[in-house]
Amino acid sequence: MPDHSDRSSQGALGALRIADFSRVLAAPLATMVLGDLGADVIKIEQPGMGDDTRTWGPPWWGEGEAATSTYYLGLNRNKRSISLDLRQEQDLQVARQICQSADVVVDNFRTGTMERFGLDREKLAKVHPGVITCSVTGFGSTGAGADLAGYDFLIQAMSGIMHITGEVDGEPSKIGSAMVDQLTGLYAAVGILAAVEERHRTGLGQHVEVSLMQSALAGLLNVGSAHVVADVDPGRHGNRHPSIAPYEPYQAADGPVVVAAASPVLWERLCAALDRQAWKIDPRFANNEARVANVEELAEEVNGVLATNTVKHWVALLQEAGIPAGPINNVRQAFIAAQALGLDPITTLTNQDSEFRSVRSPLKLSATPPAVRRPPPVNDQHGEEIRQELLDD
């Protein structure tokens, strides 16, 4: 039998090399996910500032000129960095060599940039037919939006996400983190892995493309389906759900408790836990459709019960009854809660007598778990090392 004793140290993608020309968030997230799973990710950056997010602070890690933004650190672990000015022929030739040695080439430049440098799949495949290329765009590469720049905030506005986020009578609001970038990066990683799998059968690569706008529309989920299938134009519901009740925060004596009783069984458990069996036969609450239609009356009833005791009391009681319920945590409390639940949400890498802490990958693989092997690099940290590897090849 083959010896698999080193599977964990290599990672699931230990045989892949990624040439990463991306910067900011969506595409760097995709390459970091691949790096966490073992891929050798070579980050190609412009001399000087490099990735835009290196300067996106505060907050910072470190002091003085050596300080790095935590934004950059959250997206670039498990990568090696080389600084190349693609406008200089000598550096461009090094970039071509990296691409020819890579399994996957990722970029999020403006449409046409990789073609202008001769780094697009059509040109690379003449020498390296197995190469997989991936482009992350704002609005696609072929239509009227091909030349438009895309950022998460802009896409949240244009995709309808802001229109459905916020209080019913309030202003449209963006989501608190860059969820469109995150969705796009994850879709890109999935597309890349699909192309790798297909290459196992054919020996040939292909081009993968994913746009922020289409990822955002896909991320509308049931809200997008309501429009496409039923021709509904959904609006804002605040913290309520348009199709499920009870499914919102309710007010205990000292703060809100989120209750997500999203099935008939959970509704019955909630009635029993709150000692309100009469709710089950009340025609206003008899089924989910009725509860959604009478959501204000339902909230008044539930709030009346929860106001008699604390958040801690109700969360413990409802969870004991098997009902999804919890407090509204701040970010610090969220990490503390995750640790208490046994999720171990932070990973620490000791590197040259210093420690680097990072949010742990949510992926769990029994034989080849993701791991942080390298802290995020400084610009050109591995330039000499990578150049030597190319010479050796």
Measured CA to CA, the distance from residue 130 to residue 126 in angstroms comes to 10
Identify whether the C-beta of residue 216 lies closer than 8 Å to the C-beta of residue 161.
yes
3-state secondary structure 58-92: CCEECCHHHCEEHHHHCCCCCEEEEECCCCCHHHH
Residue 195 · residue 206 · CB < 8 Å: yes
To the query of whether residue 181 is one of the catalytic residues in this protein, the response is yes
Angle subtended by helix axes 383-392 and 89-101, to nearest 10: 70
Of 6, 51, 181, 344, catalytic: 181
Cα→Cα distances 317→257, 274, 326, 328, 329, Å: 12, 9, 11, 16, 18
Q: Count CA atoms within 13 Å of residue 309 on its CB side.
A: 10
Contacts of 114 (CB under 8 A, 6+ apart): 21, 105, 107, 120, 133, 135
Active site residues: 181
